[in-house]
Amino acid sequence: MKWIYKITYPNGKIYIWKDLTGTFSYFGSVNSKLLESDFTEEERKIFTITREILWQSETATDSEVNQKEVEFIWLFQSNNPNIWYNRWPKFKN
């Protein structure tokens, strides 16, 4: 199963990512330093995120999944520095 999912962090910022293997425990590869800079040491002690599967397919090619990922990044504007943790594609104001 291939998924596109949205991760929502405690500060309300989101991250859109894909999983080409259907690995339940995979939560993307958000930039750790960027994420850490948004939370105090105390806030990092108890940290709850939500992962929501937005789209899934058993038959899509990797290329189709990549394209779908970009569509969802634009849809949710998760590349907008006010909303984001996606650094690509570059946000255009």
Given this model, what pLDDT does residue 87 score? 67
Residue with tokens 């899509």: 60
pLDDT digits (tens, 9 = 90+) for 39-65: 999 999 999 999 999 999 999 999 999
pLDDT in tens, 74-84: 899 888 777 78
Amino acid found at 4: I
User: pTM value?
Assistant: 0.83
- 15 neighbors 51 (Cβ within 8 angstroms): no
Quick one: tokens of 21? Answer: 């293997």
